[in-house]
Amino acid sequence: MKVGDLVRKKYKPGMMDTKVGIILAINEGPNRDSTFDTSVVRVQWPADYGCFWTTTASLEIVSKA
């Protein structure tokens, strides 16, 4: 995933959310062992839903930037 990708939340089979958000930032901070963790991204969701840090494991890409 990268900045500008359109994403939505992954759900259990049969469940679906139509909200599509855009990735604004990627957590690129170093871990204690000097590796980099990019498993968290900041997503702007539509309307008044908000902007949140979200794990990439809970998202699926709708469209790549």
In whole angstroms, give the CA distance from residue 1 to residue 32.
23
Give pLDDT tens digits for 1-51: 899 999 999 877 777 677 899 999 998 767 777 776 668 899 999 988 899
21-26/6-9 β-pairing: antiparallel
What's residue 38's pLDDT?
Answer: 65
What's residue 42's pLDDT?
Answer: 95
Structural contact between residues 21 and 45, judged by C-beta atoms closer than 8 angstroms:
yes
∠ CA 40-8-1, nearest 5°, is: 45
Structural contact between residues 37 and 29, judged by C-beta atoms closer than 8 angstroms:
yes
What's residue 50's pLDDT?
Answer: 92
What's residue 65's pLDDT?
Answer: 77
pTM for this structure? 0.77
What's residue 48's pLDDT?
Answer: 86
